[in-house]
Structure 1
Amino acid sequence: MGILGGSVLFPANVSQGITVEKMEWDFYPQRGGLGLWLGEFSHGKLEHPSPTDRFGQRLDMVDKTTLRIKGLELDDGGIYNTRIWFNKAQFQEQSFSLTVYEPVPTPQIHHQVESKTPGGCNVTLRCHTPGREELSISWETGDPHRALGKSVNQYQVSDNGRELRVFYWSSSFYSKFTCLVSNPVDQKRASFDLLSICQSDEGEQYILSFIIQRR
Protein backbone atom coordinates (compact mmCIF):
# COMPACT_ATOMS: atom_id res chain seq x y z
CA MET A 1 0.00 0.00 0.00
CA GLY A 2 1.13 3.52 -0.70
CA ILE A 3 -0.12 7.09 -0.43
CA LEU A 4 -0.46 9.52 -3.32
CA GLY A 5 2.78 11.46 -3.73
CA GLY A 6 4.72 9.17 -1.40
CA SER A 7 7.14 6.35 -2.16
CA VAL A 8 7.13 2.57 -1.84
CA LEU A 9 9.79 -0.14 -1.65
CA PHE A 10 9.68 -3.61 -3.21
CA PRO A 11 12.38 -5.67 -1.45
CA ALA A 12 12.93 -9.00 -3.19
CA ASN A 13 13.44 -11.97 -0.86
CA VAL A 14 16.89 -13.35 -1.62
CA SER A 15 18.76 -15.61 0.79
CA GLN A 16 21.82 -14.06 2.36
CA GLY A 17 25.06 -14.92 0.61
CA ILE A 18 23.48 -15.67 -2.78
CA THR A 19 24.85 -13.60 -5.63
CA VAL A 20 22.31 -11.91 -7.88
CA GLU A 21 23.47 -11.42 -11.44
CA LYS A 22 20.58 -9.22 -12.54
CA MET A 23 16.90 -8.42 -11.88
CA GLU A 24 14.20 -7.74 -14.44
CA TRP A 25 11.04 -5.81 -13.51
CA ASP A 26 7.66 -5.44 -15.17
CA PHE A 27 4.29 -3.95 -14.20
CA TYR A 28 0.63 -4.86 -14.82
CA PRO A 29 -1.76 -2.00 -13.92
CA GLN A 30 -4.59 -2.51 -11.45
CA ARG A 31 -7.07 -0.71 -13.66
CA GLY A 32 -6.39 -2.88 -16.69
CA GLY A 33 -4.32 -2.31 -19.77
CA LEU A 34 -1.11 -3.69 -21.21
CA GLY A 35 1.82 -4.66 -19.06
CA LEU A 36 4.88 -2.42 -18.99
CA TRP A 37 8.54 -3.40 -18.99
CA LEU A 38 10.22 -1.36 -16.21
CA GLY A 39 13.83 -2.23 -16.77
CA GLU A 40 16.78 -4.38 -15.79
CA PHE A 41 19.07 -3.93 -12.80
CA SER A 42 22.61 -5.19 -13.15
CA HIS A 43 26.13 -4.06 -12.29
CA GLY A 44 24.75 -1.55 -9.81
CA LYS A 45 22.60 0.27 -12.34
CA LEU A 46 18.93 0.23 -13.33
CA GLU A 47 18.60 0.26 -17.08
CA HIS A 48 15.21 1.90 -17.66
CA PRO A 49 14.20 1.36 -21.29
CA SER A 50 12.20 4.57 -21.70
CA PRO A 51 12.79 7.41 -19.22
CA THR A 52 9.97 9.30 -20.96
CA ASP A 53 7.25 6.73 -20.15
CA ARG A 54 4.72 7.23 -17.33
CA PHE A 55 7.26 6.33 -14.62
CA GLY A 56 9.87 8.76 -15.94
CA GLN A 57 12.67 9.19 -13.42
CA ARG A 58 10.58 7.91 -10.51
CA LEU A 59 12.25 4.46 -10.43
CA ASP A 60 15.50 3.55 -8.75
CA MET A 61 17.12 0.69 -6.84
CA VAL A 62 18.00 1.47 -3.22
CA ASP A 63 20.16 -1.66 -3.02
CA LYS A 64 20.86 -4.73 -5.14
CA THR A 65 17.42 -6.28 -4.57
CA THR A 66 15.01 -3.43 -3.69
CA LEU A 67 13.09 -1.34 -6.21
CA ARG A 68 11.76 2.06 -5.17
CA ILE A 69 8.99 4.08 -6.81
CA LYS A 70 8.82 7.76 -5.90
CA GLY A 71 6.07 10.33 -6.36
CA LEU A 72 3.32 7.71 -6.37
CA GLU A 73 0.35 8.24 -8.68
CA LEU A 74 -3.05 6.55 -8.45
CA ASP A 75 -2.38 4.68 -11.70
CA ASP A 76 0.74 3.10 -10.15
CA GLY A 77 -1.52 0.54 -8.46
CA GLY A 78 -1.11 -2.99 -9.79
CA ILE A 79 1.20 -5.99 -9.80
CA TYR A 80 4.98 -5.63 -10.00
CA ASN A 81 6.88 -8.74 -11.04
CA THR A 82 10.59 -9.36 -10.80
CA ARG A 83 12.70 -12.12 -12.29
CA ILE A 84 15.86 -12.61 -10.26
CA TRP A 85 18.73 -14.19 -12.18
CA PHE A 86 21.46 -15.95 -10.22
CA ASN A 87 23.26 -17.11 -13.36
CA LYS A 88 22.38 -17.63 -17.02
CA ALA A 89 20.31 -20.74 -16.24
CA GLN A 90 18.82 -20.16 -12.80
CA PHE A 91 16.23 -17.57 -11.86
CA GLN A 92 13.41 -16.96 -9.38
CA GLU A 93 10.20 -14.94 -9.84
CA GLN A 94 8.49 -12.81 -7.20
CA SER A 95 5.46 -10.48 -7.31
CA PHE A 96 4.37 -7.42 -5.32
CA SER A 97 0.88 -5.92 -5.18
CA LEU A 98 0.42 -2.17 -4.78
CA THR A 99 -2.69 -0.06 -4.12
CA VAL A 100 -2.25 3.71 -4.00
CA TYR A 101 -4.64 5.70 -1.78
CA GLU A 102 -5.37 9.40 -1.68
CA PRO A 103 -4.70 11.25 1.60
CA VAL A 104 -7.79 11.28 3.78
CA PRO A 105 -9.66 14.63 3.53
CA THR A 106 -10.23 16.55 6.75
CA PRO A 107 -13.80 15.81 7.91
CA GLN A 108 -16.32 18.33 9.18
CA ILE A 109 -18.99 17.75 11.81
CA HIS A 110 -22.39 19.31 11.15
CA HIS A 111 -24.90 19.45 13.99
CA GLN A 112 -28.65 19.78 14.25
CA VAL A 113 -30.50 20.39 17.52
CA GLU A 114 -33.56 18.15 17.48
CA SER A 115 -34.97 19.30 20.82
CA LYS A 116 -33.88 21.23 23.91
CA THR A 117 -35.08 21.30 27.51
CA PRO A 118 -33.70 22.78 30.75
CA GLY A 119 -32.28 19.33 31.51
CA GLY A 120 -30.42 18.80 28.25
CA CYS A 121 -30.78 18.60 24.49
CA ASN A 122 -31.13 16.07 21.69
CA VAL A 123 -28.58 16.61 18.90
CA THR A 124 -27.69 14.84 15.66
CA LEU A 125 -24.03 15.03 14.62
CA ARG A 126 -23.13 14.27 11.00
CA CYS A 127 -19.59 13.54 9.85
CA HIS A 128 -19.07 15.01 6.38
CA THR A 129 -16.12 14.18 4.11
CA PRO A 130 -15.51 15.68 0.66
CA GLY A 131 -14.61 13.45 -2.27
CA ARG A 132 -15.84 10.06 -3.43
CA GLU A 133 -13.19 7.70 -2.05
CA GLU A 134 -14.47 4.94 0.21
CA LEU A 135 -13.49 5.75 3.77
CA SER A 136 -13.92 4.11 7.16
CA ILE A 137 -15.81 6.31 9.63
CA SER A 138 -16.02 5.83 13.39
CA TRP A 139 -16.74 7.92 16.47
CA GLU A 140 -14.74 8.60 19.60
CA THR A 141 -15.44 10.48 22.79
CA GLY A 142 -13.48 12.19 25.53
CA ASP A 143 -10.04 13.76 25.51
CA PRO A 144 -7.80 11.88 25.00
CA HIS A 145 -9.96 10.15 22.41
CA ARG A 146 -11.35 6.73 23.05
CA ALA A 147 -13.58 4.63 20.84
CA LEU A 148 -17.26 4.53 21.71
CA GLY A 149 -18.18 1.26 23.35
CA LYS A 150 -20.68 -1.23 22.00
CA SER A 151 -23.45 -0.95 24.58
CA VAL A 152 -26.68 -0.43 22.61
CA ASN A 153 -28.34 0.69 25.85
CA GLN A 154 -26.23 3.85 25.75
CA TYR A 155 -25.82 4.51 22.06
CA GLN A 156 -26.08 3.20 18.52
CA VAL A 157 -24.43 4.20 15.23
CA SER A 158 -26.29 4.87 11.99
CA ASP A 159 -25.85 2.17 9.38
CA ASN A 160 -23.36 4.17 7.32
CA GLY A 161 -21.51 5.33 10.45
CA ARG A 162 -21.81 9.00 9.59
CA GLU A 163 -24.55 10.05 12.02
CA LEU A 164 -24.53 10.21 15.79
CA ARG A 165 -27.62 11.15 17.77
CA VAL A 166 -26.79 12.51 21.20
CA PHE A 167 -28.91 13.25 24.24
CA TYR A 168 -27.07 15.61 26.56
CA TRP A 169 -28.19 15.61 30.17
CA SER A 170 -27.02 16.02 33.73
CA SER A 171 -25.60 12.62 34.74
CA SER A 172 -23.10 11.85 32.01
CA PHE A 173 -19.39 12.45 31.68
CA TYR A 174 -18.25 13.62 28.26
CA SER A 175 -19.29 16.47 25.99
CA LYS A 176 -16.66 16.13 23.27
CA PHE A 177 -17.24 13.81 20.29
CA THR A 178 -14.78 13.09 17.52
CA CYS A 179 -15.31 11.72 14.03
CA LEU A 180 -12.38 9.55 12.88
CA VAL A 181 -12.04 9.09 9.10
CA SER A 182 -9.45 6.66 7.76
CA ASN A 183 -8.25 4.51 4.90
CA PRO A 184 -5.45 1.91 5.08
CA VAL A 185 -2.67 4.52 4.91
CA ASP A 186 -4.01 7.73 6.48
CA GLN A 187 -6.49 9.10 9.02
CA LYS A 188 -7.89 12.45 10.15
CA ARG A 189 -10.20 13.65 12.92
CA ALA A 190 -12.70 16.40 13.61
CA SER A 191 -14.18 17.11 17.05
CA PHE A 192 -17.30 18.82 18.33
CA ASP A 193 -18.04 19.87 21.92
CA LEU A 194 -21.70 19.77 22.85
CA LEU A 195 -21.10 22.32 25.59
CA SER A 196 -21.21 24.93 22.85
CA ILE A 197 -24.91 24.27 22.14
CA CYS A 198 -26.40 22.23 25.01
CA GLN A 199 -26.79 24.76 27.80
CA SER A 200 -29.79 26.03 29.74
CA ASP A 201 -31.12 29.53 29.18
CA GLU A 202 -29.38 30.60 32.39
CA GLY A 203 -26.05 29.40 31.02
CA GLU A 204 -25.89 26.43 33.37
CA GLN A 205 -23.94 23.60 31.73
CA TYR A 206 -25.01 19.99 31.90
CA ILE A 207 -22.76 16.98 31.75
CA LEU A 208 -23.17 14.56 28.88
CA SER A 209 -25.07 11.44 28.10
CA PHE A 210 -25.67 10.27 24.60
CA ILE A 211 -27.76 8.06 22.38
CA ILE A 212 -26.67 7.27 18.85
CA GLN A 213 -29.73 6.31 16.92
CA ARG A 214 -29.45 3.47 14.38
CA ARG A 215 -31.20 4.14 11.13
Structure 2
Amino acid sequence: MKWEIHALRGGLGYWLGEFRHGKLQHPDPTGRFGQRLDVVNGTTLRIKDLELDDGGIYNTRIWFTKTQFQEQRFILTVYEPVPTPQIQHQVESKTPGGCNVTLRCYTPGREELKVSWETWDPHRALGKSVNQYQVSNNGRELRVFSWNSSFNSKFTCLVSNPVDQKRASFDLLSICQSHEGEQYILSFIIQRR
Protein backbone atom coordinates (compact mmCIF):
# COMPACT_ATOMS: atom_id res chain seq x y z
CA MET A 1 0.00 0.00 0.00
CA LYS A 2 1.44 3.36 -1.06
CA TRP A 3 0.29 6.76 0.20
CA GLU A 4 0.79 10.25 -1.23
CA ILE A 5 -0.66 13.71 -0.59
CA HIS A 6 -1.46 16.67 -2.86
CA ALA A 7 -1.98 19.94 -1.03
CA LEU A 8 -5.40 21.59 -1.39
CA ARG A 9 -3.72 24.98 -1.82
CA GLY A 10 -1.72 23.78 -4.82
CA GLY A 11 1.84 22.58 -5.03
CA LEU A 12 3.50 19.32 -5.82
CA GLY A 13 2.51 15.92 -4.53
CA TYR A 14 4.40 14.47 -1.60
CA TRP A 15 5.07 10.77 -1.21
CA LEU A 16 4.20 9.82 2.36
CA GLY A 17 5.54 6.31 2.15
CA GLU A 18 4.41 2.76 1.80
CA PHE A 19 3.20 0.08 4.14
CA ARG A 20 4.98 -3.19 3.44
CA HIS A 21 5.54 -6.31 5.54
CA GLY A 22 3.76 -4.77 8.55
CA LYS A 23 5.85 -1.60 8.64
CA LEU A 24 5.44 1.97 7.36
CA GLN A 25 8.44 3.08 5.33
CA HIS A 26 8.64 6.73 4.38
CA PRO A 27 11.41 8.60 2.62
CA ASP A 28 12.18 11.26 5.23
CA PRO A 29 11.22 10.51 8.85
CA THR A 30 12.57 13.94 9.82
CA GLY A 31 10.64 15.79 7.06
CA ARG A 32 7.29 17.55 7.02
CA PHE A 33 5.34 14.78 8.76
CA GLY A 34 8.24 13.52 10.86
CA GLN A 35 7.11 10.89 13.34
CA ARG A 36 3.45 11.93 13.11
CA LEU A 37 2.55 9.16 10.62
CA ASP A 38 1.37 5.74 11.67
CA VAL A 39 -0.56 2.88 10.06
CA VAL A 40 -3.33 1.26 12.10
CA ASN A 41 -4.68 -2.24 11.34
CA GLY A 42 -2.51 -2.42 8.25
CA THR A 43 -4.88 -0.24 6.22
CA THR A 44 -5.52 3.06 8.03
CA LEU A 45 -3.10 5.97 7.83
CA ARG A 46 -3.09 8.04 11.02
CA ILE A 47 -1.63 11.54 11.24
CA LYS A 48 -1.01 12.70 14.78
CA ASP A 49 -1.02 16.34 15.93
CA LEU A 50 -2.69 17.70 12.78
CA GLU A 51 -1.44 20.99 11.37
CA LEU A 52 -3.28 23.36 9.04
CA ASP A 53 -1.05 22.46 6.09
CA ASP A 54 -1.85 18.75 6.50
CA GLY A 55 -5.10 19.32 4.60
CA GLY A 56 -5.10 17.93 1.10
CA ILE A 57 -6.00 15.07 -1.18
CA TYR A 58 -4.58 11.79 0.07
CA ASN A 59 -4.23 9.02 -2.49
CA THR A 60 -3.53 5.42 -1.73
CA ARG A 61 -2.78 2.59 -4.09
CA ILE A 62 -3.33 -0.91 -2.75
CA TRP A 63 -1.55 -3.68 -4.68
CA PHE A 64 -3.12 -7.15 -4.69
CA THR A 65 -0.71 -8.62 -7.25
CA LYS A 66 2.00 -7.12 -9.43
CA THR A 67 -0.62 -6.06 -11.96
CA GLN A 68 -3.78 -5.70 -9.87
CA PHE A 69 -4.32 -2.68 -7.66
CA GLN A 70 -7.05 -0.39 -6.38
CA GLU A 71 -6.80 3.36 -5.82
CA GLN A 72 -8.66 5.39 -3.21
CA ARG A 73 -8.80 9.16 -2.73
CA PHE A 74 -9.53 10.95 0.55
CA ILE A 75 -9.92 14.68 1.10
CA LEU A 76 -8.80 16.02 4.47
CA THR A 77 -9.69 19.55 5.56
CA VAL A 78 -8.13 20.95 8.74
CA TYR A 79 -9.88 23.91 10.37
CA GLU A 80 -8.53 26.43 12.83
CA PRO A 81 -10.53 27.10 15.97
CA VAL A 82 -12.83 30.06 15.29
CA PRO A 83 -11.28 33.30 16.59
CA THR A 84 -13.21 35.34 19.12
CA PRO A 85 -15.22 37.97 17.24
CA GLN A 86 -15.35 41.63 18.17
CA ILE A 87 -18.16 44.04 17.37
CA GLN A 88 -17.39 47.60 16.31
CA HIS A 89 -20.20 50.09 16.03
CA GLN A 90 -20.90 53.47 14.56
CA VAL A 91 -23.89 55.69 15.29
CA GLU A 92 -25.07 56.97 11.90
CA SER A 93 -27.75 59.28 13.31
CA LYS A 94 -29.81 59.87 16.44
CA THR A 95 -33.16 61.56 16.82
CA PRO A 96 -35.72 61.51 19.61
CA GLY A 97 -37.65 58.97 17.50
CA GLY A 98 -34.82 56.52 16.84
CA CYS A 99 -31.18 55.60 16.43
CA ASN A 100 -29.50 54.41 13.19
CA VAL A 101 -26.45 52.22 13.93
CA THR A 102 -24.04 50.10 11.91
CA LEU A 103 -22.54 47.10 13.74
CA ARG A 104 -19.47 45.37 12.27
CA CYS A 105 -18.40 41.87 13.24
CA TYR A 106 -14.61 41.56 13.06
CA THR A 107 -12.60 38.34 13.29
CA PRO A 108 -8.86 37.91 12.80
CA GLY A 109 -7.68 34.81 10.96
CA ARG A 110 -6.89 33.47 7.54
CA GLU A 111 -9.78 31.16 6.78
CA GLU A 112 -13.25 31.80 5.45
CA LEU A 113 -15.81 32.00 8.21
CA LYS A 114 -19.58 32.16 8.15
CA VAL A 115 -20.94 35.24 9.89
CA SER A 116 -24.57 35.71 10.93
CA TRP A 117 -26.53 37.95 13.29
CA GLU A 118 -29.19 37.10 15.87
CA THR A 119 -31.43 39.00 18.25
CA TRP A 120 -32.42 38.07 21.77
CA ASP A 121 -35.91 37.81 23.25
CA PRO A 122 -36.93 35.80 21.30
CA HIS A 123 -33.62 34.37 20.08
CA ARG A 124 -33.83 34.41 16.28
CA ALA A 125 -31.59 34.77 13.24
CA LEU A 126 -31.77 37.96 11.18
CA GLY A 127 -32.30 37.70 7.43
CA LYS A 128 -30.52 39.62 4.68
CA SER A 129 -32.93 42.55 4.64
CA VAL A 130 -36.02 43.52 6.59
CA ASN A 131 -37.56 46.89 7.44
CA GLN A 132 -35.72 47.36 10.72
CA TYR A 133 -32.43 45.57 9.88
CA GLN A 134 -30.17 45.06 6.88
CA VAL A 135 -27.34 42.50 6.81
CA SER A 136 -24.52 43.02 4.28
CA ASN A 137 -23.87 40.39 1.60
CA ASN A 138 -20.81 39.01 3.42
CA GLY A 139 -22.74 39.03 6.73
CA ARG A 140 -20.17 41.13 8.57
CA GLU A 141 -22.23 44.33 8.82
CA LEU A 142 -25.64 44.84 10.36
CA ARG A 143 -27.44 48.14 9.86
CA VAL A 144 -30.17 48.88 12.35
CA PHE A 145 -32.70 51.52 11.27
CA SER A 146 -34.69 53.75 13.61
CA TRP A 147 -34.10 51.64 16.69
CA ASN A 148 -35.96 52.79 19.79
CA SER A 149 -36.44 51.37 23.26
CA SER A 150 -39.62 49.53 22.23
CA PHE A 151 -37.56 47.17 20.01
CA ASN A 152 -35.19 44.41 21.00
CA SER A 153 -31.87 46.03 21.93
CA LYS A 154 -29.51 43.02 22.04
CA PHE A 155 -27.70 41.74 18.93
CA THR A 156 -25.30 38.81 18.63
CA CYS A 157 -22.69 38.16 15.96
CA LEU A 158 -22.19 34.39 15.39
CA VAL A 159 -18.96 33.34 13.64
CA SER A 160 -18.57 29.70 12.63
CA ASN A 161 -16.84 27.12 10.50
CA PRO A 162 -17.91 23.48 10.14
CA VAL A 163 -16.33 22.48 13.48
CA ASP A 164 -16.45 25.49 15.81
CA GLN A 165 -18.39 28.67 16.57
CA LYS A 166 -18.08 31.74 18.77
CA ARG A 167 -20.35 34.69 19.60
CA ALA A 168 -20.06 38.31 20.64
CA SER A 169 -23.08 40.29 21.82
CA PHE A 170 -23.93 43.96 22.02
CA ASP A 171 -26.79 45.95 23.54
CA LEU A 172 -27.86 49.09 21.61
CA LEU A 173 -28.97 50.71 24.87
CA SER A 174 -25.30 51.38 25.61
CA ILE A 175 -24.92 53.70 22.60
CA CYS A 176 -28.37 54.89 21.58
CA GLN A 177 -28.85 56.54 24.97
CA SER A 178 -25.33 58.03 25.05
CA HIS A 179 -23.34 60.71 23.14
CA GLU A 180 -24.67 61.32 19.61
CA GLY A 181 -22.52 60.55 16.56
CA GLU A 182 -19.43 59.25 18.36
CA GLN A 183 -17.69 56.12 17.11
CA TYR A 184 -16.87 53.39 19.59
CA ILE A 185 -15.18 50.03 19.78
CA LEU A 186 -17.26 48.22 22.29
CA SER A 187 -16.50 45.85 25.01
CA PHE A 188 -18.25 42.64 24.19
CA ILE A 189 -19.79 39.69 25.89
CA ILE A 190 -18.51 36.39 24.61
CA GLN A 191 -20.79 33.44 24.72
CA ARG A 192 -19.88 29.97 23.56
CA ARG A 193 -22.29 27.30 22.58
Band of TM-score, shorter chain: 0.7 to 0.9
* 1:168 aligned onto 2:147: yes
Residue by residue over 1:49-80, the C-alpha shift from the partner in whole angstroms, topping out at 9 and shown as x without a partner, is 32111110111123332212122233323221
Deviates more, 1:153-162 or 1:192-201: 192-201
Following superposition, the deviation at residue 91 of structure 1 comes to 2.1
Identical-pair percentage: 83
Is the CA contact 1:117–1:200 (under 8 Å) kept in the aligned structure 2? no
Q: Could you list the runs of 5+ residues in structure 2 that have no partner in the other structure?
A: 180-193
3-state SS of 1:72 partner = coil
1:29 equivalent in structure 2: 7
Q: Is the 8 A contact 1:120 1:199 kept in 2?
A: no
Is the CA contact (8 Å cut-off) linking 1:120 and 1:200 kept in structure 2?
A: no
Of 52-61 and 41-50, more deviation after overlay is shown by 41-50
Q: Deviations over 1:174-207 (max 9, x none)?
A: 2211111223333221111122233389xxxxxx
- 2:48 aligned residue: 70
Q: Aligned partners of 1:161, 1:38: CA distance in 2, in Å?
A: 40
Q: Which residue of structure 1 aligns with residue 84 of structure 2? A: 106
**Aligned match of 1:189:** 167
| Cα distance, 1:127 vs structure 2 | 0.9
Structure 1 contact 118–200 (Cα < 8 Å) conserved: no
Question: For residues 178 and 11 of structure 2, what CA distance do their matches in structure 1 show?
Answer: 62
**1:121 corresponds to 2:99:** yes
- For 2:11 and 2:93, the matched residues in 1 are separated by 55
Structure 1 residues 128 and 147 mapped into 2: Cα distance closer, same or farther (>3 Å)? same
Q: Secondary structure at the match of 2:38?
A: strand
Offset of residue 157 of structure 1: 1.2
**Would the aligned equivalents of 1:145 and 1:178 in 2 still touch at CA under 8 Å?**
no
Number of residue pairs matched by the alignment = 178
- Once the two structures are superposed, the pairs formed by residues 1-215 of structure 1 within 5 Å of their partners are 23-142=1-120, 145-149=123-127, 152-166=130-144, 167-172=146-151, 174-199=152-177
Q: Which has the higher contact order (CA 8 A, sep 6+)?
A: 1
Q: Compute the TM-score of the two structures, normalised by the length of structure 1.
A: 0.70
Cα pair 1:119 1:200 within 8 Å, conserved = no
SS at match of 1:105: coil
Q: Which has the higher strand share?
A: 2
Please give the secondary structure, in 2, of the residue aligned with 1:40.
strand
Which SS does the other structure have where 2:135 is aligned? coil
SS of the aligned residue for 2:34 comes to: coil
Change (3 A) 1:146 1:46: farther
- Backbone CA RMSD of aligned residues: 2.6
What's the CA shift for 1:129? 1.6
Q: Give the drift of 1:81.
A: 0.7
State the alpha-carbon separation in 2 of the partners of residues 36 and 162 from structure 1. 38
